């Protein structure tokens, strides 16, 4: 694994410590690598009205969009599991949910990149990397509304 990927996964793991997930007890962190090398993170935010939960990827994308950086995305790392001190318990990589794939696609199209999405297990032993186009083939996005060249 490259140093850049290891650092991105470490940032996602750190973000997961700030999850607000009292209902599921499942803490997810997402780290967005920007084209300039900066990293922006997010974690899931749950709600007593369960269906209103915001996923880690969504909170992270909202942060870059609000900074004017939605077209600056290069790569994404996601990690999740049940917290145990500073560790996350879980051997299955966390794959982005369907809604998050669509939200990631918005930034990917704006960034003019088929971004890599690195999906890590909480125990850190498994990382599966995909192109977003594999996770969300034939996506609908800003290009379909004539907003891109």
User: Applying CB under 6 A, which residues contact ligand THU?
Assistant: 21, 24, 26, 28, 44, 46, 53, 55-57, 96-97, 100
Concerning whether 67 is annotated as a catalytic residue, the answer is no
In our burial notation (b when 16+ CB lie closer than 10 A, e otherwise), range 105-121 reads bbbbbbbebebbbbbbb
Active-site annotation holder among 46, 57, 72, 75: 57
CB of 39 to ligand THU, least distance (A): 17
The answer to whether 133 and 114 are in contact (CB under 8 A) is: yes
Query: Which of 126/148 has CB closer to ligand THU?
Result: 126
The answer to whether 105 and 117 are in contact (CB under 8 A) is: no
CB of 137 to ligand THU, least distance (A): 18
CB of 96 to ligand THU, least distance (A): 4
First CA to last CA distance, the chain: 35
Q: Which residues are annotated as catalytic?
A: 57
């Amino acid at each position: 694994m490259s140093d850049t990927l290891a650092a991105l996964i470490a940032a996602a793991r750190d973000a997961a410590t700030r999850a607000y997930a009292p209902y599921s007890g499942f803490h997810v962190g997402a780290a967005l690598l920007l084209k300039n090398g900066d990293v922006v993170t997010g974690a899931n935010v749950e709600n007593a009205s369960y269906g209103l939960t915001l996923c880690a990827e969504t909170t992270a994308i909202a942060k870059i969009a609000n900074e004017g950086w939605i077209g600056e995305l290069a790569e994404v790392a996601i990690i999740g599991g049940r917290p145990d001190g500073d560790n996350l318990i879980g051997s299955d990589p966390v794959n982005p949910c369907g809604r998050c794939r669509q939200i990631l696609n918005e930034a990917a199209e704006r960034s003019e990149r088929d971004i890599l999405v690195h999906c890590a297990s909480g125990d850190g032993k498994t990382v599966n990397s995909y192109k977003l186009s594999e996770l969300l083939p034939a996506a609908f996005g800003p290009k379909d509304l004539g907003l891109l060249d």
